[in-house]
Amino acid sequence: MSLYPLTFAPVLKPYTWGGRKLDELAGRAIPAGKIAESWEVSGHPNGETAVLEGPLAGRSLAELQADYGADLVGTRNRQALERTRFPLLIKLLDANEWLSVQVHPGDDYALRHEGDLGKTEMWVVLQADPGAELLFGLERATDRDQLRRAIVENRLESLLHRLPARAGDVFFVPAGTVHALGPGLFLAEIQQSSDATYRVYDWGRDPVGPEPRPLHVEPALEVIDLTAIRPRAVEPHRLSEDGHEIEALAICPFFETHRISLGDGDGYSGACTGETFELWCALTGSIDVAWSGGQAVGTQLQWLLLPARIGPFEVRAAGESTLLRVRTPEPAA
């Protein structure tokens, strides 16, 4: 069966810090209660997404990768094929309360200790309440003993870098960077396909209550990057490509992300020729994607996965649209 642009049924995570913005801002029918995360495109066993429409409806992303291999993910992603894990995980996050202060390990540590990949990630802020902020890296030079004492004495926050966050801001969060999202943030997260998280502080929430959230102080202290001092939001690098307004937001060994602005009816032409898949999402507006086999529609905040062997395609905006394009980069020489 031929591959085509794929949409997925999200997997919802009702964590304690969530809210209702998937309903209020994205217009989605969601269950009652707090919804913190929507795993939009995922091959991770903790939340595999299934195809929403077309002949492959109901098939999980992991099943598709097993069946289609490089035709789905591309030749750049041989390690993903060897690990039988789609390389990226896309989420929408609704922070209605402070998330735990946490850190993610890199690949080597995570594979040794967790049997999972490491987690480098990035955030694109979609909406921010007035005064919204986050903790991101260290405020000043600090050693691990100082961090341990601050955790024991319940004053870790004083050692962390606090900064405001506004709609449109972009933050690149390498593995090892200690961080926490604050209340009033709704954002898209692009990350390695990993669920490895070490919490060092959880704002006094009960670690053994109805929603247990244990802390992982010692492994966190082992992986925190002490050189991540006062990091800032990304300054997008503006590109000119066929008259389009394009911003390079993040390029790392795991993903590269561009933000593209299109006017109503404008089109962007590309091609998936076997090296990598592409993920597209309209943050505002909506899009039509045409390829040799037909046409697909991407509604606002719905992610479309274009398989690596789909060939030439055109993304056309319906209304003024701001788009994200995510793909895997060429391996370093």
Pairing of strands 101-103, 267-272: unpaired
Burial 33-72 (b: 16+ CB within 10 A, else e): ebbbbbbbbbbbeebbbbbeeeebeebbbbebbeebbbbb
- Give strand pairing partners of 240: 245
Encoded tokens for 58: 């109901």
Contact 39, 89 (CB under 8 A): yes
DSSP-assigned letters across all residues of 217-241: HHHHHHH--TT-BS-----PEEEEE
Q: Which residue has the tokens 């992300």?
A: 257
Residue 250 DSSP one-character state: E
Select which of 199, 259, 316, 325 is catalytic. Answer: 199
User: What CA–CA distance (Å, rounded) separates 85 from 79?
Assistant: 9
Contact 141, 161 (CB under 8 A): no
User: What CA–CA distance (Å, rounded) separates 177 from 200?
Assistant: 12
**Could you give the residue ranges of the DSSP H alpha helices within the chain?**
21-24, 61-68, 70-73, 78-83, 107-113, 144-152, 217-223
Q: Is residue 199 flagged as an active site residue?
A: yes
Contact 11, 38 (CB under 8 A): yes
Q: Which of 192, 217, 188 is nearest to 202 (CA)?
A: 217
- Give strand pairing partners of 179: 102, 136
- Which residues belong to the active site? 199
